[in-house]
Structure 1
């Protein structure tokens, strides 16, 4: 039996971190897509906020530090950025056909979304989108 003043080992709830990351990522996709569609700008800087949020939620959820947490934060950041680019392109094209972004998204091809995203993103947006996974890697350690 351990001594009363010996701290208990901390248990890791990786499922809690994954659940928080899933909910936070979905919320970030909705918020970022809504902002982009409402203003007509891509707002690439939000990718940096998504990177910090992913790293923070994994840490808050009790996922142990290390390479796994950093890679998961970076992967979530990339997934959020891709989903937003897809939904924003779908929102603009779908609006012309009377469709909501989630209705138009399955009808969009990857190359078409890539072309539309290249046209819509500024240089600063592209820099932020490129830096976001690197920030998530650093913050997620």
Structure 2
């Protein structure tokens, strides 16, 4: 897990940590004992809430890739329709796009990876052989 993921997990668990410290440390310091029949179900309920929202926070559910436009194509594979020397035409799904090969030339029928875009021109790379 990355540092960013660990920080997200800690922030996600902050309410459980705060409630646990309050129930088990602060309140007993003032002479108030909360029964385990109350404190444990409360903490379990808070943990269940985190389990339900964790996929959206930790799994990138809130940081989804765009589904349209050239940004959505980055990382996808395209098939060369017109030789890329270095510029030509590629087919992505059922669409034809103009593209430029950044690392040499690609012949018709070869597969290239979309790594970016400049306007409506796709930036392409041949796979390393």
TM-score (norm 2): 0.29
Normalising by the residue count of structure 1, what TM-score does the alignment of the two structures yield? 0.27
Q: Which has the higher strand share?
A: 2
Larger radius of gyration: 2
